[in-house]
Amino acid sequence: MKTIGVLTSGGDAPGMNAAVRAVVRTAISLGMNVKGVRRGYVGLIEDDIFDMDARSVSDVINRGGTLLYTARCPKFRTEEGVLEAVATCKRHGIEGLVVIGGDGSFRGALELSRHGVPCIGVPGTIDNDIACTEYTIGFDTAMNTAMEMVDKIRDTAQSHDRCSVIEVMGRHAGYIAVQTGIAVGATAIMVPEVPVNIDSIIRKINKTKANGKKHFIVIVAEGVGGVDEIAKQIMAGTGVDSRATVLGHVQRGGNPTLRDRLRATQMGYEAVHLFYQGYGNRVVAYKGCEVVNYDIEDALQMKKSFDENMLKIALETAI
Ligand code: ADP
Ligand code: F6P
């Protein structure tokens, strides 16, 4: 393979730049040319392609967001869109494409592979909701940001003897919620994977109130949602003044943590080496402290389990 392309797709995630850097520099080290594609599949359809060299990715390893920009592209879900993207690849001599994104982006990558443009997926999403991998780029930074924000909210909740009900991101998954919840010592954590009755949270707050606790943090995954209503119900059931906060997109920004830069670099490097060894249609993943890879179709069929023991740890340590 002489020329590869690289794009970022779906929601941005801190560490995507480090992954792009690793792809570009590894490819150049192996004697390949690299083309950058702007705005994910939109750039492939609209022919927004540019040549990249080692300097194109200077000073980005520490930056959040994505220098390639990103987008969601409804047209790429159609046969017409995929064919236009394939034509762009042919025009630019792109023989293989590294796709940095989530499950949806990998479905697009599978379509491209089926149409003769082999792709390698690199998992990039703050949600950590991709089944084939224990880790996705951006997860650690997002959780550290959420933790820092909750620490700030805690100061004011403590000063006013309040309960703070805080929504964190994660789309349909509760991985950000559960790990952040443990790290901030939340009284309760609500995730979509394990439904919990608001009455049990109210009972817990009343019980801990009786043993001297005066302020409370409740972490709610966005897949559960409804923080305003939850705060009202807690106030009605406990008498504790309650406030709701939605952390939102702040969790997607900021300089990537060491962990995200490291995993991004390892996975970007691996993606290019797979092409170099003649593989295509693979997803790079992180499993048992190792970088591994799977067939894209197999990867998309895997199911991710939720470690309920984490919730148990949270509950038993926040009494
Ligand atoms: P993520 O990659 O973070 O899961 P999305 O689900 O929004 O984000 O997917 C990103 C993009 O991938 C979509 O906007 C679309 O262009 C493409 N995509 C998603 N699903 C498919 C599909 N089934 N077939 C082709 N392309 C898809
Ligand atoms: O997938 C990342 C994510 O931030 C999810 O946690 C959230 O549900 C979604 O993207 C938000 O998307 P948008 O950027 O379109 O608001």
- Mean pLDDT of the 267-287 span: 98
Q: Look up residue 71 and give its two tokens.
A: 């987008």
Determine the atom of ligand 1 nearest the C-alpha atom of 11.
3
- Find out whether the beta carbon of 81 lies less than 6 Å from any atom of ligand 2: no
Q: Look up residue 111 and give its two tokens.
A: 């379509």
Give residue 189's pLDDT band: very low, low, confident or very high (50, 70, 90). very high
Integer distance in angstroms from the first to the last C-alpha of the chain?
Answer: 58
Q: Distance of CA 201 to CAs 130, 139, 165, 241, 247, Å?
A: 29, 27, 11, 15, 21
- Find out whether the beta carbon of 167 lies less than 6 Å from any atom of ligand 1: no
Under DSSP, is residue 164 helix (H, G, I), strand (E, B) or coil?
A: strand
Q: Which residue, among 254, 262, 259, has the nearest Cα to 19 in the 3D structure?
A: 262
Asked if 154 and 215 touch (Cβ cutoff 8 Å), the reply is yes
Cα-to-centroid distance, 258 and ligand 2 (Å): 23
- Mean pLDDT of the 302-314 span: 95
Cα-to-centroid distance, 156 and ligand 2 (Å): 27
- Find out whether the beta carbon of 286 lies less than 6 Å from any atom of ligand 1: no
24-57 pLDDT, tens digit per residue, is 999 999 999 999 999 999 999 999 999 999 999 9
Q: What is the pLDDT of residue 301?
A: 98
Q: Look up residue 224 and give its two tokens.
A: 């559960």
- Find out whether the beta carbon of 41 lies less than 6 Å from any atom of ligand 1: yes
Q: What is the pLDDT of residue 175?
A: 98
146-175 pLDDT, tens digit per residue, is 999 999 999 999 999 999 999 999 999 999
Neighbours of 288 (CB within 10 A): 6
3-class secondary structure for 216-284?
Answer: EEEEEECCCCCHHHHHHHHHHHHCCCEEEEECHHHHHCCCCCHHHHHHHHHHHHHHHHHHHCCCCCEEE
14 Cα distance to chain centroid? 8
Cα-to-centroid distance, 141 and ligand 2 (Å): 15
Give residue 107's pLDDT band: very low, low, confident or very high (50, 70, 90). very high
- Find out whether the beta carbon of 124 lies less than 6 Å from any atom of ligand 1: no
Cα-to-centroid distance, 177 and ligand 2 (Å): 14
Asked if 108 and 81 touch (Cβ cutoff 8 Å), the reply is no
Helical ranges in the chain per DSSP H: 16-29, 41-46, 79-91, 103-114, 139-160, 175-183, 198-210, 227-238, 258-276, 296-301, 308-317
Q: Identify which ligand lies nearest to the alpha carbon of 73.
A: 1
Give residue 234's pLDDT band: very low, low, confident or very high (50, 70, 90). very high
Give residue 316's pLDDT band: very low, low, confident or very high (50, 70, 90). very high
- The Cα–Cα gap between 10 and 190 comes to 25
Q: What is the pLDDT of residue 154?
A: 97
Whole-structure pTM value: 0.97
Active site positions, annotated = 127
Give residue 99's pLDDT band: very low, low, confident or very high (50, 70, 90). very high
For atom 19 of ligand 1, the residue with the nearest CA is: 104
Ligand 1: residue of 8, 9, 297 to mutate (most ligand atoms within 8 A of CB) is: 9
